[in-house]
Each structure stands twice: as C-alpha cells, then as structure tokens.
Structure 1
C-alpha cells in the first residue's frame, strides 16, 4: 500500500472533480488497509503547490470518509502554507491531531 497523493493544484474550480476522483480511491485504499489489519490511510501532500481553502474542505471530507470506514487519515508532507491555512481556519487539529496535541498553548 503506497498511499495516495494530492494533485499539484487544488483550487475551488477543480475541487469537485478532485473529490470525485479521490473519494473512490480513498474507499479502495481504506479497504486495503483494513484487509491488512492496518488503521491508517496515508495521503501525501508533497506535490501540492497551488491551492486555496477548498483544499481544506477536501481534506476534511477525506478525513471524515476515512473515519466512517474505521481508519484514520494521515496527511504527510504537507506544505507549510497548507498547515498555516489550516491553523488560520482553526482546523489544523482535525488534520494533524498529534501535532496539535504536542503544540503548547
């Protein structure tokens, strides 16, 4: 299981199409993870370079879908600008729960 990757561009005008592709891929990956007795679906954001707040919406939907299937979404290699955007919108702890838990208040 190699995990999934976000596209390089994820903006409002392409978010619906991106979700239409990602949702079935997430379901399939979650099924494979569960078959292998795993608990985590990995999603790489390393290639994400052009994005807006719709990327957060897509990622939150992905995390919710994974949770509904009994697995956790692990978002890897997120650009710092994406992490900052998530902090500004108050959703960082939903996308990176362990990082938020270890961050002093």
Structure 2
C-alpha cells in the first residue's frame, strides 16, 4: 500500500513521486494501491503524483488503484478527464 501524506501541493509533489516510485519498485506484489485517506490539504499536483504512480506501476507489470480518494479530489480528476485512470480500490470482503 502506497500511503499519501496529509498535504500534497506543488512543493511536496517531486519528493513524494520519488518516494512512491521507490516503494513501488521494492514491493513484490502485482497490484499497487495508493491510499489517499490521509489527504487533507492538496492541489491538482496530487493528480500528477497519482498518474506518475500509475505509470510506474504499469511499467512494472502491476495493476493500479486508489483507495479512499477524497470527494474533492475525485471531482478534480473528473474535471481534468483522468478519473478513469484512477480506479477505486476494491473493498476487502
């Protein structure tokens, strides 16, 4: 599970991208899940980070989804036309 921080703006995005890419490369699982539940303060930069994670995951042969995307961020993703690239993670049974 890739855990996003509580704040993600343009200032934090590059470091977060590097950290998440490293986590993806070191995780042997075939499915990457980004946990967005902690996000409180964010701008559209988080979409770029999530899309970068998705790109990295797919390059590693993994599937990608996002858990608990805040409603405002889902709205941003829809506005930018990328919501279908950030599918919600399946809920555990």
- The two structures have a TM-score, normalised by structure 1, of 0.79
Equivalent residues of 2:66, 2:88 under 8 A apart: no
The C-alpha deviation readout for 1:62-104, integer Å capped at 9, x for no partner, is: 0010000101111101100110000000000111289xxxxxx
Question: How many residues get paired?
Answer: 89
Unmatched tracts of structure 1, length 5 or more? 34-38, 99-105
* Residue 49 (structure 2) pairs with residue 58 (structure 1): yes
Q: What are the ranges of 5 or more consecutive residues in structure 2 without an aligned counterpart?
A: none
Identify the match of residue 93 of structure 1 among 81, 84, 88.
84
State how far apart, in whole Å, the 1-side matches of 2:70 and 2:88 are: 17
Deviating above 4 A after TM superposition, structure 1's stretches of 4 or more consecutive aligned residues are none
Higher-Rg member (1/2): 1
What is the rounded CA distance, in whole Å, between the counterparts of 1:75 and 1:62 in structure 2? 10
Considering fraction of residues, name the structure with more helix: 1
Give yes or no for contact 2:44–2:76 (8 Å, CA) kept in 1.
Answer: yes
SS at structure 2 position matched to 1:73: strand
RMSD: 1.5
Using the size of structure 2 for normalisation, the TM-score is 0.89
